[in-house]
Amino acid sequence: MAKSFDFSVRSIDKLAQADASMALLEDIGTGDLTASLIDPGQQTIARVLARERAVLCGSAWVQAAVLQLDPYATLTWHVQDGQWCTANQVVLEVKGQARSLLSAERTALNFLQLLSGVATKTARYVEAVKGTKARIVDTRKTLPGLRLAQKYAVRTGGGINHRVGLYDAILIKENHIAAAGGIAEVLTRAAALADQADFVEIEVENLEQLSHALNAGARMVLLDNMDLTSLRLAVEINAGRAILEISGGVTLDDLHTLAQTGVDRISIGTLTKDVQAIDFSMRFAPIKDPA
């Protein structure tokens, strides 16, 4: 069986440490010239505010960015990952070295705004399918280097993950079918590798292909860019034999109608590739002059 990322707290912390290290190196390089203007001994309190309503996500990445530059900083979260925050709410207070916090600020906020954007969008899509059995699923259409972070954000927003990469599951698409010589042929080959994969799924574009796939033993089928009438017929033809997933051209406006067809999953690339970042800002408390 393939080993997908387990998304445990320990694994997330290790992932966040690695991501933050790369991002800080990218931003700081040989040194933060502007922060060098600040007394290295100066301590401060900084508050992170949400400027809009959102599902918070990315606390591990924020902490990794801050603590890598100031290991003695203390972070107090007022909103946890997966919780909604409101506009102008303080979500985090940090106490530490002013110079280090200034250097970590942009990296920390970049992770927070991106991952909260993914989680918030996912939560809105999940809300739209309430009352149906459909689950919202992500795709591999992620930002290079941040796939695991974005897939964590999808989970935080209430969605579920598709395959993490090419190594943990088999998704047979149009070109695979053509190269292998047909639906039955490619499914036969996939069966020989099934014990190495989390799942085997085949993509079909019409009802005839769906019937061929089901007759060849498919247990998970992706219905690609089918219209509403075809989707309803596909559910009837399937009659519960395989897990059915919708993909292609899905929008928030038509999501509930699509879910009502009776499909099991709806995969949506826009969750991770068209991200509207959430607006967060960091504000330092005024430094009092010594008496």
Q: Which of 47, 106, 124, 189 is catalytic?
A: 106
95 catalytic, yes or no?
A: no
Q: Which of 51, 173, 232, 273 is catalytic?
A: 173
Q: Which of 120, 13, 111, 8 is nearest to 62 (CA)?
A: 111
The dihedral through the CA atoms of 231, 236, 238, 242 has a sign that is: positive
Q: Which of 127, 224, 232, 241 is catalytic?
A: 224
119 vs 154: CA distance, rounded Å: 5
208 catalytic, yes or no?
A: no
203 catalytic, yes or no?
A: yes
183 vs 96: CA distance, rounded Å: 60
CA 225, chain centre distance (Å): 22
201 catalytic, yes or no?
A: no
Q: Which of 105, 138, 201, 203 is catalytic?
A: 203
173 catalytic, yes or no?
A: yes
Active site amino acids: 106, 141, 173, 203, 224
